[in-house]
Amino acid sequence: MATGYLEILRARHATRLLAGTLVGRLPNATAAIAIVLFVRAEGGTYSLAGALAAVYGVANAVGQPVLGRLVDLRGQPRVQLPAAVLSALAMAVFALVGTEPAAVAWGAVAAAGLFTPPLEGGLRALWASVLPKEDQVHRAYAMDAVAQEVMFTVGPLLVTVCTSLWSAQAALLVLNVIGVLGALSVVVSPPSRAWRSAPREAHWLGALRSPGLLALLGAFLFVGIALGSITVAAVSYADDHGGDRVYGWLMAGLGLGALIGGAVYGARQWFGEPARRLQVLVALLAVCYLPLVLMPGVVAMTLLTVVAGLFLAPVIACAFVLVDRHAPRGTVTEAFSWLVTTFTVGASVGTGLTGPVVEAGGALWGFAVPGAAGGVSLLVLIATGRVLAVPAGTAVVAARSENDPNRAVEPRFSSGDRA
């Protein structure tokens, strides 16, 4: 299993790009918990803390596709690094000013979210320039999805450590400085500096003019809802079974399941049409959410969350392949950024929707939401199956610059290829 991943990491620049992107995204991965801890340390209410974290999330969802389009138009270094610096400076203003005056605090948090660099989409645009084989690119997508789970597990721990050693204010400052260094490591690398998007057709919709991409985003909205709803239902379950420690175990179980599923999925080559495979993976994801409604004891429930997380990373990795295939020429970074935004919005909708459900019917009905959302996602994929399937022979093979054979212009694979 590890051989395929080691082969990728041994490729020139691959480890640097993956590590730099993960480090650069730490401020985004830790923003919610860091903001909440800081506001509470400043004497603010939980309502204020939650509202500021939500503002950051909404601004981030808006900024990702906009900055992604700018990356496609101007290149990575001209957008990613300035955005990272601006985001860090805005968060520094928030950390130094605090919650008063309110206008400054709200504006700083919004700016920090808005200017978060689209490193995630940028990395996926770079994989084809550093990995010579298509199956390696697809395996890199799976490894990328697994690495995200590690980052979202380790990130909150880093916030806690920084807060314990110094303060919540220091955590905000330190993590954002680290994030800028990560972004800098990526944008000064030869693949990032050499990468250019393919020539694009001028269109105000950009990547969203692709019917296939719109179909995928519609399905992924409900995948996000499913994941967001679990976090709220798990809080209700934990309140009745031991509190915060139990909640931590449940979230760790989800992350562990995603790690296992992503590692297994990326360890082998997959044949056939990825659109059909995504339908199967989403169906399995929805089915694995259903046993959560049983709400057994803590140990058994933790095991059920591991099972519930098994197919999340494979679903994300398979979606990456489809985004790459359906992104209009010259919009690959923007297209990946739209997937990030849709997933984020879906998770926010899931948390907002499940709160009233839990209050009305308890944790049991809260755990019914992810299964239902997964089922709706599957229905969207089935209904749009013809749109998502790429007719054989219509895709364009990856173009490379004659002067620089390592410079990928735009990766595209035909539906008959291995996926």
Q: Give the pLDDT of residue 1.
A: 53
User: How much is the pLDDT for 190?
Assistant: 94
Whole-number Å distance between alpha carbons of 123 and 25: 11
Cis omega before residue 101 (within 30°)? yes
CA 53 to chain CA centroid, nearest Å: 17
Are both 219 and 167 inside the same structural domain?
A: no
> Do 83 and 110 reside in the same domain of the chain?
yes
Mean pLDDT in order along the chain per 10 residues (419 residues): 74 91 90 83 81 86 91 92 97 94 94 94 86 82 79 76 88 94 95 83 76 93 91 83 78 85 82 90 96 94 94 91 86 86 84 83 91 96 89 38 38 34
- Number of folded domains that form the chain: 2
Please give the pLDDT value at position 200.
66
**Which is nearest to 412 in space by CA: 337, 322, 319?**
322
- Based on the domain organization, do 15 and 88 belong to the same domain? yes
Asked if 49 and 184 sit in the same domain, the reply is yes
The answer to whether residues 136 and 282 belong to one domain is no
Give the residue carrying structure tokens 């709400």.
295
Domain-terminating residue out of 197, 223, 240: 197
Q: Which of 197, 218, 253 is the last residue of a domain?
A: 197
Q: What is the pLDDT of residue 47?
A: 76
Residues 231 and 352 in one domain: yes
pLDDT for position 414: 33
For 75, left (φ over 0), alpha (ψ -120 to 50), or beta?
left
Which DSSP state fits 390?
P
Considering the domain architecture, whether residues 133 and 44 belong to the same structural domain is answered as: yes
Q: How far is Cα 246 from Cα 179, in angstroms, rounded to an integer?
A: 30
pLDDT at site 202: 62
Question: In this structure, what token pair is assigned to residue 284?
Answer: 């399995």
> Do 124 and 211 lie in a common domain?
no
Same domain, 303 and 405: yes
Instruction: Measure the CA–CA gap between 419 and 415, rounded to whole angstroms.
Output: 8
Q: What is the CATH number of the domain that holds 283?
A: 1.20.1250.20
**Do 156 and 217 fall within a single domain?**
no
- Among residues 175, 197, 219, which one ends one of the domains? 197
Between the two ends of the chain, the Cα-to-Cα distance in Å is 17
Domain, as residue range, for 142: 1-197
Same domain, 190 and 308: no
pLDDT of residue 398: 37
- Do 158 and 207 belong to one domain? no
